[in-house]
Structure 1
Amino acid sequence: MLHEETWGVLLVVQPDEFEVWYTTEDFPDTFYPTGRMVFSVDALAHALFVTGRAPHDQAAYGWTSVYEWLHRVALVPAYVRRAPTGRLTRSDLARSLDRSEKVALSYALGQAMTGVFSQQVVSVRFLMHVDRYAARHGIQFAPNTRRRADLFGETTAGGWVVAEAKGRSGSIDDELKETMRAQKRTIRSIGGTPPVLAYACGAHFPQYKGVPDHLKLYAVDPEEAELEAFDLPADRDRFILAYYEPFLAALEAGQEEPTRDAYELASFGPFQVSIGVLAAVAQRVRQARLGRMNRLYRDVTELLDTHLSATRPANRFTDGTAVMSKWQQALDQDDWSTERDEGFPDWWY
């Protein structure tokens, strides 16, 4: 949940939290044009997990989806730092990467921040990469479909959303903003229903008077559909199965831990991260994998409504999963400010 302003004073960001400001354009009037997201490092790791595109099929790919996630989350302690104000910045190592490596890092951060924005601002409970869903269920896209959105998911109110994720190691200039505003919706419908929102998010590190600023997010919601927009043949039971299967693969690949607070848990020691799923949800999805698909969506959402409390630790999420990291020492390293003698203003720190 967003940390709101109280009597005009912003609440303090906790030591294990990040602060990222966002700007929206062309969104419905119910959205603020600017806002502030405060989220834990575990929320960032969770977003990296759910936005991954690696296929889950163990028979064909082994533990590919787990390895991909571990690779992606390792980017956090390696390249992401927390400035004293709580702003998300990059390590000096990240700034020294070559161009192709910066592109890969920006791409992953763009997807992750789209995930955080989707959960916190748009109230999306389940978010998944379009390609992962398509690969899981053998969906073939038309050959004239040159472009398609990265992610799609469902809000807590039950509506479908579509999201395009972009990341930049520098500023998002006016030309790119205009491109994002002009971009048409590439998915016309999901399971026969038009999405309630189809937005593009750009995570970037803007320049301010020649100084690289902290991470910011720009989001735009175009209204018109692309002429080549396609219909995604998704249904909610298959969607839920595809959503949770990578979590089950992670539970099986990691070191099993004792069940705690009704969560099945597994750890990945060298990566200093653990993952969990509500035991009741994990059991129901396993039944679906064995053939009991009927009413999977209804059963899982009812389990979430029953077992999730309104007040949860920051490492427990609305989809009934958990991510727990031990990266505080890495995030607090002062290896992001070697340029502070080059005229950085006081606000930067």
Structure 2
Amino acid sequence: MARRHDFSVWYRAKHFPSGVVPHETDRMTFPIDDLAHALFVTGRAPADRAAHGATSLYEWLHRVALVPAYLRMAPGGRLMRSDLARELDRSEKVALSYTLGQAMTGIFSERILSVRFLMHVDRYAGRHGLAFDPSSKKRADLFGQKRDGGWVVAEAKGRSGTADWKLEQAMISQKGTIKSIDGVAPDFTFGCAAHFPKLNDGSEPLAILAIDPPDFEPDAIDLGISLDKFTQAYYEPFLVALEEGGRRAVSGDFVVAHYDAFNMRIGMLRSVIERVERANSGFVSGIHHDVTTLLDELVPEERPAGQFLDGTMVKTDWAATMNQDDWSEFYFVEKF
């Protein structure tokens, strides 16, 4: 049963292998904290502090601030845009929709496909000098690893209206641009779009369209990565957030930084912090094995809201803002 402050977002999943997604049309329920976490892990800002300082942190804070500014929880848990979001100019709406597309791809990946680590392709490439063929501009946005070790590739899209046939074709084209990761074919190469279809009563709640067609592009690439470097790069922005935050405290197994101005806390398992810090000191070899072993031991299947498969914590206090009635003249109540 959905908690009082859970979003309820309908999704449509097309062409996934049998048994992966139980129902082609269904809904996900998730707390507000999931949005903040997904915005962090899908960001593309590099985490190389020597070259960029705390860039990844500032980018994330900017992205996270979009949630209380522009999103609202309507009756029934529907995720709506605020009136302020509707007044944005076209370029600002495009940016908001794209960012939401990335976040919802992250939530769909974790909750439906059991993805534990998800990262923007450009962030890994920028961190570890991975070069791409300059003749091809088509490249999927995100890639990540499931709990069972399998890989996924995802193309994230966002639209301020309804997803149409043209958008579906774009996702089909770009999601198939990576044919292997670390020499292994991904389990899923899917496109995921966050969009706002208009319902019969005039309301426009967020919905998700996910597509996993089987074919790759003719010029699809092999993404050569190191599992250890992948794990190191994944956690570095979290370390930055912990170091740059205000008050820092220990809460159970977590080290937590308080971002009081944003009504938000971010944390990470102490044992994982220690292993990533060792990697940053030069002991990179074996970090993937060590971290996944820790997560298998310390992260329960059923986790409190705000705790995630990757051993991190993001907790927000945005309920009052998210439940404001400044999202539309229509008050849509879902009927079941």
TM-score range, shorter chain: over 0.9
One-letter code aligned to 1:17: D
Q: Please give the per-residue CA displacement for 1:234-269, whole angstroms capped at 9, x wherever unaligned.
A: 121111000000000100110132201110111112
3-state SS, counterpart of residue 258 of structure 2? strand
> Is 1:124 equivalent to 2:124 in the alignment?
no
Identify the residue that residue 15 of structure 1 maps to in structure 2: 4
TM-score (norm 2): 0.96
CA distance in 2, matches of 1:139, 1:171: 35
41, 52, 56: which one pairs with 2:47?
56
3-state SS, counterpart of residue 77 of structure 2? coil
Q: Quote how far apart the aligned CAs of 1:310 are.
A: 2.8
Q: Quote how far apart the aligned CAs of 1:112 are.
A: 0.2
199, 205, 211: which one pairs with 1:208?
199
Identify the residue that residue 113 of structure 1 maps to in structure 2: 104
CA distance in 2, matches of 1:69, 1:151: 16
Identify the residue that residue 294 of structure 1 maps to in structure 2: 285
Q: Quote how far apart the aligned CAs of 1:184 are.
A: 5.8
23, 34, 45: which one pairs with 2:25?
34
TM-score (norm 1): 0.92
3-state SS, counterpart of residue 29 of structure 2? strand
CA distance in 2, matches of 1:175, 1:88: 24
Identify the residue that residue 99 of structure 1 maps to in structure 2: 90
3-state SS, counterpart of residue 255 of structure 1? coil
> Is 1:284 equivalent to 2:275 in the alignment?
yes
Identify the residue that residue 243 of structure 1 maps to in structure 2: 234
Asked whether the 8 Å contact 2:172–2:190 carries over to 1, the reply is no
Structure 2 unaligned runs (5+)? none
Identify the residue that residue 7 of structure 1 maps to in structure 2: none
Alignment RMSD:
1.5
3-state SS, counterpart of residue 153 of structure 2? strand
Q: Please give the per-residue CA displacement for 1:245-295, whole angstroms capped at 9, x wherever unaligned.
A: 000010011013220111011111211111000000000000001111111
CA distance in 1, matches of 2:99, 2:300: 30
Structure 1 segment 338-349 matched on structure 2, within 5 A: 339-340=329-330, 347=334
3-state SS, counterpart of residue 235 of structure 2? helix
Asked whether the 8 Å contact 1:167–1:203 carries over to 2, the reply is yes
Structure 1 unaligned runs (5+)? 1-10
Asked whether the 8 Å contact 1:51–1:128 carries over to 2, the reply is yes
Closer, same or farther: CA 285–210 of 1 in aligned 2, 3 Å: same
CA distance in 1, matches of 2:4, 2:214: 39
Of 89-98 and 175-184, deviating more is 175-184
CA distance in 1, matches of 2:201, 2:303: 41
> Is 1:86 equivalent to 2:77 in the alignment?
yes
CA distance in 2, matches of 1:331, 1:184: 32
3-state SS, counterpart of residue 125 of structure 1? strand
161, 182, 188: which one pairs with 1:191?
182
Asked whether the 8 Å contact 1:52–1:129 carries over to 2, the reply is yes
